């Protein structure tokens, strides 16, 4: 199938969906709302997310509910896009969908760690999708980690994760989450080899930048909160990023303190992430998403018949959801507009 056939209809669909993303005035309107329910009301009555909220009474939306509602809406967009792709690009979309499924697996593992007894299925965002291929209900039903480990071995991609479920604790939970992400990005890297050169390079660049940023985040978390050894940190990182090679990753892992770690990052294209956060941990993820947003935005106006528009939209949409959730949750605590602005990636 030729490039035009592959991407003409898909890009047209993406452009239509992009046109429904929040405009500047809608961000401003949401920020100016006075409280949590007023923010929800604005979201339902003045944005495209009315589709996600149409059958929901906003007075019944409690803490954490909005995030699940919006993420399920995001999952549904994947299925809509699935109708516009064929062949290898349908396989790629299914693989990208796997990242969302991994987030659901993390929810299950966290619930098992805290021994959560109540039903957690409502917390999962992909189990309702026709694209789902993971037996979540069976995993949730397992009573202990040993049984869950055996069940996980039956899922080919996650067979290497199963041994990590032994002696399950907070530190192993951290390792499991990193290992899940490692398996996902490894699968993407292998898939690129099946693609044509142009589109393979696009996936490699976008995927590689995400790998770089995740590695930085993981090394920081591992040092700051888990006190992992440099060897352990290095073994948990994902190789073949975009701008940071394995030698630089090694130096970050072996940095003697956070000051040396920051100095190393400042010499990379990702230096602004930590310099803008200025040591405030709660802003680091926001700065990471801001960086990614800026990197991806250039693909929106390219107009080329390749996979770039689809990949950029998928990630930008996810970042927009995080911004919305940050704003609305800030309104729960009656935060001022200026305070809410600290948490979002959109330049207002």
Q: Tens digits of per-residue pLDDT, 65-112?
A: 999 999 999 999 999 999 999 999 999 999 999 999 999 999 998 888
Q: How many C-alpha atoms does 106 have within 13 Å on its Cβ side?
A: 16
Place of tokens 């509602």: 69
Query: 236-247 pLDDT, tens per residue?
Result: 888 888 999 999
Closest CA to 139 of 101, 172, 182: 101
Quote the distance between the C-alpha of residue 129 and its chain's center: 18
Closest CA to 52 of 125, 108, 120: 125
Query: Rounded to two decimals, what is the model's pTM?
Result: 0.88
Place of tokens 């959730």: 325
Strand extents, DSSP E, the chain:
none
Query: What does DSSP assign to residue 122?
Result: G
Place of tokens 């954490």: 64
pLDDT given at position 268: 92
């Amino acid at each position: 199938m030729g490039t035009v056939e592959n991407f003409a209809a898909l890009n047209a669909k993406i452009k239509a969906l992009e046109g429904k993303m929040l405009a500047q005035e809608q961000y401003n309107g949401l920020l100016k709302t006075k409280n949590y329910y007023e923010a929800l009301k604005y979201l339902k009555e003045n944005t495209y997310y009315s589709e996600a909220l149409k059958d929901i009474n906003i007075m019944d939306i409690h803490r954490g509910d909005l995030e699940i509602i919006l993420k399920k809406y995001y999952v549904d967009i994947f299925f809509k896009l699935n109708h516009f792709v064929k062949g290898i690009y349908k396989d790629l979309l299914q693989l990208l969908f796997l990242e969302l499924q991994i987030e659901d697996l993390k929810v299950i593992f966290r619930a098992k760690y805290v021994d959560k007894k109540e039903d957690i299925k409502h917390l999962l965002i992909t189990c309702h999708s026709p694209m789902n291929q993971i037996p979540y209900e069976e995993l949730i039903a397992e009573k202990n980690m040993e049984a869950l480990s055996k069940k996980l071995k039956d899922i080919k991609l996650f067979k290497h994760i199963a041994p990590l479920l032994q002696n399950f604790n907070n530190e192993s939970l951290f390792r499991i989450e990193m290992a899940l992400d490692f398996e996902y990005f490894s699968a993407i890297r292998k898939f690129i080899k099946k693609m044509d050169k142009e589109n393979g390079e696009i996936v490699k660049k976008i995927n590689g930048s995400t790998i770089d940023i995740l590695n930085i985040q993981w090394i920081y978390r591992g040092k700051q909160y888990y006190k992992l050894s440099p060897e352990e940190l290095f073994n948990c990182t994902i190789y073949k990023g975009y701008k940071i090679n394995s030698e630089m990753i090694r130096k970050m892992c072996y940095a003697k303190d956070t000051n040396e770690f920051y100095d190393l990052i400042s010499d990379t294209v990702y230096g602004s992430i930590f310099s803008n956060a200025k040591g405030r941990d709660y802003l680091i993820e926001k700065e990471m998403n801001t960086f990614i947003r800026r990197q991806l935005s250039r693909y929106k106006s390219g107009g080329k018949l390749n996979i770039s528009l689809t990949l950029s939209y998928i990630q930008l949409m996810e970042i927009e959801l995080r911004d919305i959730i940050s704003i609305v949750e800030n309104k729960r605590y009656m935060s001022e507009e200026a305070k809410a602005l600290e948490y979002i990636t959109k330049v207002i």
